[in-house]
């Protein structure tokens, strides 16, 4: 009971809500002291007003007073890291006798605070950062009461990368080129086929050589290599006539002349 009275007295004395951001070490940011002095945070009010506070020596950012009522957006800006954004909701402080300041702003309390996620709606937030307290009137026995001050430990989402790391040369990257793969296969056939021919059965070897002689590309290969017998009869092969689609009517070059 005494603790409850002390809390009510503090609420009555408080004229505006205050927020303290304490940046603690994490896996992404092991040393918060490495943050530059330009690190700061802003709170955007529903009416468009922006409150700004800079980083202190103890790695904290303090907003001593949030005079407006409604949903606020809390952002932290720094050069090398990305921090999470937070939603801060405030309500009028009904416990005070004088609910307005000289400048017309209302005395407020923090009723809700949670992390926001990029690309989601304003209502899609994380768990409330305001701790729950025991409440006999609540069905669950616990409830969240507005607070005059709130301490938040901002979450570091990641580090900013402004430069793309230049990739070094890797011999394995050559295997991704189709022309290199075709060249490797051709070399494998060139140096591997003689080894296979040596270990081949004599009958199978003779059959393979006979198939090569009768193949359509065998005569073309002999002609391109200097000419030679194109058939078993010893007829010469006319490469120009073959490519032009001419057929032999007599034999060899004489047949082509006779056709003319």
Higher pLDDT, 161 or 35: 35
259 in any annotated domain: no
106 shares a domain with 184: no
208 shares a domain with 184: no
Min mean pLDDT across 104-108, 176-180, 210-214 is at 104-108
14 vs 18: CA distance, rounded Å: 9
Give the domain-ending residue among 103, 133, 159.
Answer: 159
193 shares a domain with 155: no
255 in any annotated domain: no
240 shares a domain with 125: no
80 vs 60: CA distance, rounded Å: 17
93 in any annotated domain: yes
Q: Angle 77-56-50 (CA atoms, 0-180°, nearest 5)?
A: 45
Q: Determine the average pLDDT of the residues in 123-131.
A: 86
Q: Scanning the structure block, which residue is given the tokens 């030679």?
A: 228
**Domain span holding position 182:** 171-200
pLDDT in tens, 73-88: 999 999 999 999 999 9
107 shares a domain with 182: no
Give the domain-ending residue among 128, 159, 190.
Answer: 159
64 shares a domain with 33: yes
70 in any annotated domain: yes
Which pLDDT belongs to residue 37?
92
Which pLDDT belongs to residue 197?
73
Does pTM top 0.95 for this prediction? no
Whether residue 11 is predicted with pLDDT greater than 70 in this model: the reply is no
Q: Please name which of 72, 83, 87 lies closest in space to residue 130, comparing C-alpha atoms.
A: 87
Whether residue 239 is predicted with pLDDT greater than 50 in this model: the reply is yes
Cβ–Cβ < 8 Å for 73, 84: no
Q: Please name which of 118, 35, 116 lies closest in space to residue 78, comparing C-alpha atoms.
A: 35
Length of the chain: 260
Q: What is the mean pLDDT of the chain?
A: 76
Whether residue 32 is predicted with pLDDT greater than 70 in this model: the reply is yes
Higher pLDDT, 170 or 50: 50
Whether residue 45 is predicted with pLDDT greater than 50 in this model: the reply is yes
Q: Determine the average pLDDT of the residues in 9-27.
A: 74
188 shares a domain with 122: no
Whether residue 126 is predicted with pLDDT greater than 50 in this model: the reply is yes
196 shares a domain with 127: no
164 in any annotated domain: no
Q: Kindly give, in sequence order, each residue whose CB lies less than 8 Å from that of residue 124, ignoring residues fewer than 6 positions away.
A: 116, 117
Q: Determine the average pLDDT of the residues in 218-247.
A: 56
223 shares a domain with 195: no
206 shares a domain with 182: no
213 shares a domain with 195: no
149 shares a domain with 196: no
Total domains in the chain come to: 3
Interhelix angle 202-214/216-224, rounded to 10 degrees, is 70
19 in any annotated domain: yes
Banded model confidence at residue 12, pLDDT cuts 50, 70, 90: very low
Cβ–Cβ < 8 Å for 249, 241: no
Q: Which H or E run includes 44?
A: strand 40-44
Q: Please name which of 72, 106, 96 lies closest in space to residue 11, comparing C-alpha atoms.
A: 96
Percent of the chain with pLDDT over 70: 67
């Amino acid at each position: 009971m005494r603790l409850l009275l002390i809390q009510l007295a503090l609420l009555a004395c408080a004229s505006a809500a205050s927020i303290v951001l304490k940046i603690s070490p994490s896996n992404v940011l092991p040393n918060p002291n490495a943050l530059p002095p330009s690190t700061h945070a802003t709170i955007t009010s529903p009416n468009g007003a922006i409150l700004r506070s800079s980083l202190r020596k103890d790695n904290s950012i303090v907003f001593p007073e949030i005079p407006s009522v409604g949903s606020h957006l809390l952002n932290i800006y720094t050069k090398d890291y990305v921090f999470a954004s937070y939603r801060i909701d405030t309500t009028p402080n009904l416990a005070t006798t004088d609910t307005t300041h000289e400048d017309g702003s209302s005395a407020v309390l923090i009723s809700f605070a949670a992390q926001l996620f990029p690309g989601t709606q304003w209502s899609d937030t994380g768990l409330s950062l305001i701790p729950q307290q025991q409440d006999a009137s609540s069905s669950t026995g616990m409830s969240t009461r507005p607070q005059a001050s709130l301490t938040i430990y901002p979450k570091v989402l990641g580090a900013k990368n402004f430069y793309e790391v230049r990739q070094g040369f890797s011999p394995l990257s050559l295997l991704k080129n189709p022309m290199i793969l075709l060249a490797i296969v051709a070399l494998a056939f060139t140096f591997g086929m003689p080894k296979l021919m040596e270990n081949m059965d004599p009958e199978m070897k003779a059959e393979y050589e006979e198939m090569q002689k009768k193949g359509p590309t065998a005569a073309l290969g002999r002609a391109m290599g200097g000419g030679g017998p194109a058939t078993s009869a010893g007829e010469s092969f006319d490469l120009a006539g073959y490519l032009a689609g001419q057929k032999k009517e007599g034999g060899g070059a004489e047949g082509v002349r006779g056709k003319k």
